[in-house]
């Protein structure tokens, strides 16, 4: 996470190649932008290296994905209005987000609670707390970083005997999560990119048939869903804004 943050800081300071597809060949980059404009979600698996070598992670698995979408007709402020509206994340990102609440805000610094429900062969419910900083780089650019400060697996979620397992003494479906968002206006809309690094336990011997699909596929699927849901929520936000303007 530290190495990924260093790379993010350097890219943002340069102000160039702000979307992952900008690092592709000219032909691939042009095709990628066309696909985004057609409404596709562009995804890529990443791996941060330490001095050119893979990062050793005994007993765990590092999942690193980046994705981008294009939201026509939107401005950076419209995307921020959705991302910062934590009290409504359970609406915007249902069913992945089951509960959401803004715990505190000081300017562009937010603390939020999110309950995730994720299903892939098995269902896992997680209570999470996040520390999020937003940065408005210019009228047409913004970025953020979100750190999950607490992650607790919930046992018997929604039942009378619901309880949180002690963090670290659970099934290890999510131990750590860091998220970096970028928003760049262009081509009559906003390009939105989200990069996520998460840590899970390794797949225990003999349980690959049950845990394997969850651990290996959920990170990519969750990010794809989040980007799609963000675009849909921003579009609804734009419709409501247009209706208010008509009334005025």
Domain parsing of the chain, residue ranges: 2-247
The secondary element (H helix, E strand) that includes residue 183 is strand 176-186
Is pLDDT at 119 greater than 70 in this prediction?
yes
Which pLDDT band holds residue 202 (cuts at 50, 70, 90)? confident
Average pLDDT over residues 59-80: 95
Residue 197 pLDDT greater than 90, yes or no:
yes
Q: What is the pLDDT of residue 210?
A: 55
Averaged pLDDT score across all residues of the chain:
91
Closest to 4 (Cα-Cα) out of 58, 60, 62, 59: 62
| Separation between Cα atoms, residue 60 and residue 119, nearest integer Å | 20
Task: Among 3.40.50.300, 3.30.530.20, 3.40.50.1100, 3.40.630.10, name the CATH number for the domain at 2-247.
Answer: 3.30.530.20
Mean pLDDT of 10-31: 93
Q: What pLDDT was estimated at residue 172? A: 82
pLDDT tens per residue across span 146-190: 999 999 999 888 888 889 888 777 888 899 999 999 999 999 999
For the beta carbon of residue 115, count every other beta carbon within 10 angstroms.
19
- How sure is the predictor about 115, in pLDDT bands with cuts at 50, 70 and 90? very high
Tokens of 175: 């131990």
With 70 as the cut, is the pLDDT of residue 243 above it? yes
pLDDT for the residue 106 = 97
CB 75 within 8 A of CB 185: yes
The mean pLDDT of 4-28, rounded to a whole number, is 93
pLDDT at 206: 55
- Which pTM was predicted? 0.92
Sequence-distant (6+) residues with CB within 8 A of 112 are 86, 89, 100, 101, 102, 103, 129, 130, 132
Task: Determine the pLDDT at residue 146.
Answer: 98
Q: Which residue has the higher pLDDT, 206 or 221?
A: 221
84 has pLDDT over 80? yes
Which pLDDT tens digit goes with each residue over 203-214?
Answer: 665 555 455 566
């Amino acid at each position: 996470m530290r190495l990924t943050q260093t790379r993010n800081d350097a890219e943002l300071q340069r102000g160039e190649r702000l979307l992952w597809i900008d690092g592709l060949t000219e032909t691939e980059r042009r095709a990628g932008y066309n696909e985004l404009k057609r409404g596709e979600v562009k995804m890529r698996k990443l791996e941060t290296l330490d001095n050119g070598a893979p990062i050793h992670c005994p007993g765990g698995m590092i999942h690193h994905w980046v994705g981008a979408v294009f939201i026509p007709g939107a401005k950076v402020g419209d995307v921020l209005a959705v991302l910062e509206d934590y009290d409504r994340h359970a609406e915007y990102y249902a069913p992945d987000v089951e509960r959401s609440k803004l715990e505190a805000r000081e300017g562009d610094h937010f603390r939020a609670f999110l309950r995730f429900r994720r299903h892939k062969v098995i269902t896992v419910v997680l209570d999470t707390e996040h520390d999020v900083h937003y940065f408005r780089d210019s009228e047409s650019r913004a970025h953020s970083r979100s750190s999950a400060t607490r992650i607790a697996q919930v046992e018997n979620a929604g039942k009378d005997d619901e309880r949180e397992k002690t963090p670290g003494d659970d099934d290890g479906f999510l131990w750590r999560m860091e998220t970096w968002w970028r928003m760049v206006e262009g081509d009559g809309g906003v390009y939105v990119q989200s990069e996520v690094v998460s840590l899970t336990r390794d797949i225990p011997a003999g349980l690959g048939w049950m845990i394997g699909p969850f651990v290996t596929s959920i990170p990519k699927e969750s990010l794809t869903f989040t980007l799609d849901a963000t675009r849909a929520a921003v579009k609804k936000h734009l419709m409501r804004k247009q209706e208010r303007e008509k009334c005025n």
